[in-house]
Structure 1
Amino acid sequence: MGSRILVVGAGAVGGYFGARMASAGHDVTFLVRERRLQQLRAEDLCLISSIGNVTITPRMVTTGEIDDPYDIILLSVKAYSLTAAMDDFAPAVGPQTRIVPLLNGMQHLDILEERFGPAAVMGGTCFVVSRLDAQGHIVQTGSLPRLSVGERDGSDTPAARSIAETLSGSGFETVCSTHILQDMWDKWVLLAALGSICCLMRGTVGDVASQPAGQAFAQAVIHECALTTAAAGYPLRDAALQGTVSLLTKTDSTLTSSMFRDLLQGSPVEAQQIIGDLVRRARIHQIPTPLAH
C-alpha cells in the first residue's frame, strides 16, 4: 500500500505539488478551509502551467474530519498561519508520521519540533513561481519547479529516499538532499534580500537595479544577509551567492517578492518570519544590519 499524504493547504504551492502528485497516482488528501473546500467542489483543482495543464477532483478534508494518522504531511501554509495549521493537522500526526514543511525561513522548524518532537520533522524547501487567479486556479510560470526534502542531520536514510520518491510527480523535480538545512538557509537569504529590496524601495528588482547606486544597494542587502547566515554556521555556497547577486541586480527584471505583493494588497505579510527572525539572529552574532533592520 502506498503512503498516505496529507497536503496542508491547497493554495499556490501546496495545490501545485499536491495536484501533480495526485495526477501521478499518489494517495493525496488536501486539508482545506471551508471557503477553499466550496471553491474546489465547484471548480475542481486546476493547474494552468507552462509545463502542462492539469485538472483533478481532489480528495479533501476540513478541520475535525481527520480520524487516522497520515504517513507524510506536506505543510505549505504561510508562516504566520503555522500555529492554527498545527492545531488543524495535529490529529493526522501518528508515531511514524513525517512532516515536510515548505515554509520560508527557519523558525518553523523549532515550533514544529516543540509540538510534535524532533523525529517527526524533516527539512524541506521548494522553488515554484505560482499564484491563485480570481477563479482559484493555480497559475504556474517559469522554470521547472523543484521540491527538496531531507533529514535535518544530513544523513542519507532509506526513509528519506522513500519520502522523496513518494513526493514526486511529473511537472516538478524532487531532490532527496543530504544538506537540506543549507538549502533552506540559501533560500532564506534570497527571500530576505528580495523582500527587503522590494519593500524598502517599493519597486521591482529592475526598478531598483536601474537606479544610480541601485545595484550597490542590492548587493549591500545581500551582504548583510550572507554575513548572518555565515555566523550561524551556514555560509552561502559560492553558486548560491553568485546566483542571488545575479538575480537581484538585473536592470530589466520584473521580479518582486511575495511579501511586497502582499504588502501592496494590504494582506498579512511574512516580515517577521523572513526578515525579523534573520535580524534577530544577526543581533545574537553582533552582525550589523542597518538596511534589513
Structure 2
Amino acid sequence: MKITVVGAGAVGGYFGGRLQQAGADVTYLVREKRAEQLKQTGLVIQSPRGDDQLVPKIATRTDQIEGCDLIILGVKNYHIPGSIDQMRPLVEKGAYVLPLLNGVEHYDLLEKEFGKGKILGGLCYIISTLDAEGRILHTNLAHEVRFGPLVPEQQAFCEELTVAAKGANMKLVLSEDIQADIWNKYGYITAYSGVTTASRLSIDKVLKCEPTKEVFRQSLVEMWQLARHKGVNLAESFIDISVDQCSKLPEGSTSSMHQDFRKGLPLEVESLQGAAVRLAKQAGIEIPTIKTLYGLIKPYENGSSN
C-alpha cells in the first residue's frame, strides 16, 4: 500500500514515521520550508515509545508522487482549504483520505470535494508537538489511530490497511462504530480545550475549583446531548469517564488549544466550539456553556501575544 502523508507535522509526521519504520511505502507531501528541514535533519521522532531518525521520501507537488492508495491528512482544520487542491489529483486516481483532525465539520467539506465514498472515518490520540528544529516531540504514551468505514463499501480497504500497518510501533484500531468514536473524542476535546483555554488553567487546577469543574462537566453534558441529537450512539458514561480520565492526568496537563493560546498561535475554536454551536442550532437545542466558552475564546482565533 502506498501512503501519502499531507502535513508531516507533529501528528502526520509521527504516524507516517511509525508506518515507515514498519516498512510501509510513505511519501510526505510538504511545503518547501518543511521539505528543506526534513532534507537536512531527516524525520526525527523523540518519544517514550522509542526514538528514531528516518530518511523520508519527500514531495512538494503531487506530480512528484508515484501512486497513492491512502492519504493521511494530519493538518490543522484551518489548513484544509489549502490542502484540497494538493489532494485532488491523488483522490481522482483512486486514493482514500483518512483525516486525523479534531472536530467533525471537516467531513462535510471533504465529502463535498471528493465524494462520500472516498473519505474514511478517523481520529487519533496523541500529545505531540514540533520543536524549533522540526523534531517531533511525543510527550505521552498514547499513540493511537482509530479508523473505520463511513460507508460499507470501504470495509475491505480498511481491513487491507490493518494488514499493511501490521508491526508498526503505534496502536491502530479498526473501529466497529467510528461515528461514536469520532464524537467521543470531539465531545471530550471541545469541553476540555474550551474550559482550559477560557480559564487559562491546566486541567488539574480546573478540577480543584468546584465551580470551574462544574463548567467542565456541564460542557461534557451538552456535547453528549448534541451527539445524541445527531443520532450518534454515545454512551452517557462518556461524561463521568471523561472527568475521571482528566483527574488522572499529570499535574500541569492542558489542552493543545491552551498551549497554542499561550504561544499566541491560531486556535481551532471554529472547528471545535464554533462547530458545536452551529450543529446545536441546526438541531434546535441549546448548549449555553459551550456557547459561552466559544464567545470567550473566539477573539483569540487568529492568535495573539497574550
Alignment TM class, shorter chain as reference? over 0.9
The structure 2 residue matched to 1:134, chosen from 132, 135, 151, is 132
Normalised by the length of structure 1, the TM-score is 0.93
Q: 1:252 to 1:167 in 2, by over 3 A?
A: closer
Q: 1:34 to 1:145 in 2, by over 3 A?
A: same
In the other structure, the counterpart of 2:203 is 205
SS at 1:255 equivalent:
coil
Paired residues for 1:67-82 under 5 Å: 68-82=66-80
Q: Quote how far apart the aligned CAs of 1:126 are.
A: 0.8
Q: Quote how far apart the aligned CAs of 1:148 are.
A: 1.3
List alignment gaps of at least 5 residues for structure 2: 292-306
Deviations along 1:90-133, whole A, 9 cap, x unmatched? 22223431111111111111111111111111111111111111
Q: Quote how far apart the aligned CAs of 1:287 are.
A: 2.2
Deviates more, 1:36-45 or 1:257-266: 257-266
In the other structure, the counterpart of 1:181 is 179
2:4·2:26 contact (CA, 8 Å) conserved in 1?
yes
Deviates more, 1:203-212 or 1:78-87: 203-212
Deviations along 1:17-40, whole A, 9 cap, x unmatched? 011111111100000011111111
Q: 1:239 to 1:17 in 2, by over 3 A?
A: farther
Q: Quote how far apart the aligned CAs of 1:89 are.
A: 2.1
Paired residues for 1:77-156 under 5 Å: 77-153=75-151
Normalised by the length of structure 2, the TM-score is 0.89
Letter in 2 for 1:48: Q
2:99·2:121 contact (CA, 8 Å) conserved in 1?
yes
The structure 2 residue matched to 1:231, chosen from 229, 232, 250, is 229
Question: Among the aligned pairs, what percent are the same residue?
Answer: 31
In the other structure, the counterpart of 1:20 is 18
* Counterparts of 1:238 and 1:156, CA distance in 2: 29
In the other structure, the counterpart of 1:286 is 284
In the other structure, the counterpart of 2:299 is none
In the other structure, the counterpart of 1:39 is 37
SS at 2:290 equivalent:
coil
Corresponding pairs, count:
291
1:209·1:251 contact (CA, 8 Å) conserved in 2?
no
1:205·1:255 contact (CA, 8 Å) conserved in 2?
yes
In the other structure, the counterpart of 2:244 is 246
* Counterparts of 1:197 and 1:235, CA distance in 2: 25
In the other structure, the counterpart of 1:269 is 267
1:69·1:91 contact (CA, 8 Å) conserved in 2?
no
List alignment gaps of at least 5 residues for structure 1: none
The structure 2 residue matched to 1:50, chosen from 45, 48, 53, is 48
Letter in 1 for 2:215: F
SS at 1:140 equivalent:
strand
Q: Quote how far apart the aligned CAs of 1:156 are.
A: 7.8
